[in-house]
């Protein structure tokens, strides 16, 4: 079988790759050891060899500085990971050393590893959180190009929002019928997302999505470790280090067992002293987790409100992410939504599978056989913008008799993709140029202090006169990447800002920096 059309879940803690089989069903590609999910961790040996997955994690104890985890949390940051320092540092302070890597370079190593599970790839779709900003999306595409997933010159890599991919997966499961307004609750290792979408047959429209990028399974692990440390201290006087990888792994194991048992005990080796058996019950764990659970409940509540719905409008609740196996999460969902969530799928694999299906729908028809074409023809998908996008404009304040700058929103959060919007503005005086600014914000604010400026360039014009019209068009594609045009109508001068990924030369340069490393 040729593995041509794939979906990749590039997760904070785990990643997975699925391929479309000969009849158009997604299948997870396991690694050589038959693992279906791969830890999103990269290890660099001193002899320039890299390892990805559990092998990378097992090097943490001996060489913590040389193992990089939770790379996805940094995708939008201007940072590099320094192997020498063993931490993320601001790009401004980078010494451009050979042992410094950008989040995109590190992600490309994970993608390359996943790519090797299959054969040649013709079409790849990578999933990103619905909340991911433009720069994080671009960094993900850069990573895919560096990994040469399917040749970076071609238009073969696309992104899809994780909840959309998951809905896709559920909606296509045999014997599962999903319709109406559904909620996707995604609790993985490092992030929490809630999404409400409308599913009509095979058509999926995301209505609203929000989340917390810093709430995930790892936070529950830390709570258990804190409990273990207190118990150990009470009886033997010493504390357990809260960052110790082995203790954290033991805490995670305990947490997973509590998903199916009412209580469990483990033996802890003290930092420099005796071993101790520590027991924790599910009730104790639920008490420890109450503030995390409360934060999740608030998000679910807010998602329903922001979608302008009532709870009983939601027909189904779909679970995604390994941490939704925890009984306290299921109870919280039932409590807030007054409904049982749909169970029975492999929550760790839903996102990659859905992405493979989406890849099939957008693949070149010549890459599909008849059965795949038939399966794909039954699927339709749309998605929404997850931020507000605008520009900095000026207007005259009559009261104060002065001009002031404000954020003028052009694309509303929640607009269905792809979307293109044009707004008219005018020059405030005779001028030879104007700044072209693109802003992004989570709320519909006019206050320019509360927005993130994602691009700013100067547009030179000839003989611009007061009140001349300037037309600004923003178009937002299906991968949620923005294209902006600023046009001075009188002179016909058009200025384009493509908030785009690196050029192939830049990708080549970034790749070359890593040429000394072999990937195992
Ligand atoms: P994901 O990123 O979706 O693969 O989710 C990974 C997270 O799910 C990690 O924090 C795991 O500890 C957690 N997880 C996996 N299985 C279980 C389980 N049975 N009970 C509780 N948490 C789990």
Question: Residue 124 belongs to what H/E stretch?
Answer: strand 123-128
Pocket (CB within 6 angstroms of ligand 1) = 11, 13-14, 37, 188-189, 217-218, 252, 255-256, 259, 321-323, 325-326, 348
Nearest to 413 by CA among 133, 147, 162: 133
Atom of ligand 1 nearest to the CA of 321: 3
Q: State the distance from the centre of ligand 1 to the C-alpha of 255, rounded, in angstroms.
A: 9
Q: What is the pLDDT of residue 511?
A: 66
Q: Who's near 91: CB < 8 A, 6+ residues apart? A: 78, 79, 80, 102
The pLDDT assigned to 152 comes to 44
What pLDDT, on the 0 to 100 scale, is given for residue 105?
96
Determine contact, residues 177/148, Cβ cutoff 8 Å: no
Residue for token digits 């997973």?
Answer: 256
Those residues with Cβ within 8 angstroms of residue 411's Cβ, 6 or more apart along the chain or in another chain: 385, 388, 389, 390, 419, 421, 474, 476, 482
Q: What is the C-alpha to C-alpha distance for residues 8 and 160, in angstroms, rounded to an integer?
A: 10
How far is Cα 507 from Cα 500, in angstroms, rounded to an integer?
Answer: 13
Distance, CA of 381 to CA of 405 (rounded, Å): 38
Count of Cβ atoms closer than 10 Å to residue 143 Cβ? 29
Task: State in Å: Cα 427 to ligand 1 middle.
Answer: 55
Backbone angles phi, psi at 176, to 5 degrees: -105, 130
Length of the chain: 520
- What's the gap in Å between 170 CA and the centre of ligand 1? 19
Indicate the helix (H) or strand (E) that contains 507.
Answer: helix 504-513
User: Which residue do the tokens 């994780």 mark?
Assistant: 162
Predicted confidence (pLDDT) per residue in 362-404, tens digit:
887 888 889 888 888 777 555 667 678 999 998 888 888 888 8
Mark the ranges of the chain whose per-residue pLDDT is less than 50. Answer: 1, 152-154
- Sequence-separated (6 or more) residues with CB below 8 Å from residue 93: none
Supply the residue whose CA is at minimum distance from atom 21 of ligand 1: 256
Q: Which atom of ligand 1 is nearest to the CA of 255?
A: 21
Element (H, E) at 279: strand 275-281
- How many C-beta atoms lie closer than 10 Å to residue 480's C-beta? 22
- Tokens 């320094």 sit on residue: 82
Distance, in Å, from the CA atom of 325 to the CA atom of 329, rounded to the nearest integer, reads 7
**Contact between 181 and 313 (Cβ < 8 Å):** yes
Question: Ligand 1: which residue has its CA nearest to atom 20?
Answer: 256
Q: 161 C-alpha vs ligand 1 centroid, how far in Å? A: 20
Nearest CA to ligand 1 atom 15: 322
Task: Point out the ligand 1 atom lying closest to the alpha carbon of residue 220.
Answer: 10
Ligand 1 pocket test, pick from 39, 323, 345, 355 with the greatest ligand atom count within 8 Å of Cβ, gives 323
Report the b/e string of 5-20 with b at 16+ CB within 10 A.
Answer: bbbbbbbbbbbbbbbb
> How many C-beta atoms lie closer than 10 Å to residue 469's C-beta?
12
**Six-digit token pair at 154?**
């071609």
Backbone angles phi, psi at 257, to 5 degrees: -65, -35
> 35-46 b/e with 16+ CB inside 10 Å = b?
ebbbbbbbbbee
Q: Which bin fits 191, alpha (ψ -120 to 50), beta or left (φ > 0)?
A: beta
pLDDT at 1: 45
Count of Cβ atoms closer than 10 Å to residue 399 Cβ: 5
Give the Cα separation of 208 and 306 in Å (integer). Answer: 7
């Amino acid at each position: 079988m040729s593995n041509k059309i794939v979906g990749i879940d590039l997760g904070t803690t785990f990643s997975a790759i699925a391929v479309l089989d000969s009849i158009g069903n997604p299948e997870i590609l396991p690694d050589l050891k038959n693992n279906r999910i791969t830890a999103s961790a990269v290890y660099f040996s001193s002899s320039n060899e890299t390892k990805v997955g559990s092998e990378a994690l097992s090097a943490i104890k001996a060489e913590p500085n040389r193992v990089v985890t939770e790379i996805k949390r940094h995708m939008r940051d201007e940072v590099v990971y320094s192997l020498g320092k063993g931490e993320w540092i601001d790009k401004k302070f980078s010494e451009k050393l050979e042992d410094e890597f950008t989040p995109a370079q590190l992600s490309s190593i994970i993608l390359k590893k996943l790519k090797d599970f299959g054969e040649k790839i013709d079409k790849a779709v990578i999933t990103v959180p619905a909340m991911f900003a433009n720069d994080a999306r671009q960094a993900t595409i850069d990573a895919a190009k560096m990994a040469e997933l399917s040749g970076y010159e071609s238009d073969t890599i696309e992104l899809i929002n994780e909840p959309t991919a998951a809905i896709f997966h559920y909606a296509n499961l045999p014997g599962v019928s999903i319709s109406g307004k559904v909620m996707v609750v995604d609790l993985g290792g490092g992030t929490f997302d809630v999404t409400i979408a409308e599913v009509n047959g095979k058509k999926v429209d995301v209505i609203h999505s929000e989340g917390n990028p810093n709430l995930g399974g790892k936070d529950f692990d830390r709570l258990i470790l804190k409990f273990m440390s207190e118990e150990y201290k009470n009886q033997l006087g010493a504390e357990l280090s809260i960052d110790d990888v082995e203790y954290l792994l033991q805490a995670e194991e305990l947490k997973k067992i509590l998903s199916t048992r009412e209580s469990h005990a483990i033996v802890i080796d003290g930092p420099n002293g005796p071993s101790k058996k520590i027991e924790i019950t599910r009730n104790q764990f639920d008490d420890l987790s109450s503030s995390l659970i409360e934060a999740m409940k608030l998000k679910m509540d807010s998602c329903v409100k922001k979608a302008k719905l009532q709870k009983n409008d939601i027909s189904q609740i779909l679970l995604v992410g390994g941490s939704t196996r925890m009984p306290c999460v299921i109870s919280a969902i039932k409590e807030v939504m007054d409904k049982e969530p749909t169970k029975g799928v492999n929550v760790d694999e839903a996102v990659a599978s859905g992405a493979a299906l989406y890849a099939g729908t957008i693949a070149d028809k010549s890459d599909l056989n008849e059965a795949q074409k038939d399966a794909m023809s039954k699927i339709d998908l749309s998605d929404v913008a997850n931020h507000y996008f605008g520009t900095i404009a000026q207007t005259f304040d009559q009261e104060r008799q002065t001009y002031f700058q404000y954020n003028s929103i052009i694309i509303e959060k929640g607009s269905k993709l792809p979307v293109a919007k044009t707004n008219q503005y005018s020059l405030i005086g005779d001028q030879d140029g104007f700044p072209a600014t693109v802003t992004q914000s989570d709320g519909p604010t006019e206050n320019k202090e509360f927005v993130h400026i994602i691009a700013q360039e100067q547009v030179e014009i000839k003989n611009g006169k007061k009140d001349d019209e300037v037309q600004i068009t923003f178009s937002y594609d299906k991968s949620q990447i923005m294209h902006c045009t600023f046009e001075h109508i009188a002179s016909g001068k058009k200025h384009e800002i493509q908030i785009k990924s690196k050029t192939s030369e830049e990708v080549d340069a970034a790749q070359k920096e890593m040429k000394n490393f072999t990937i195992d």
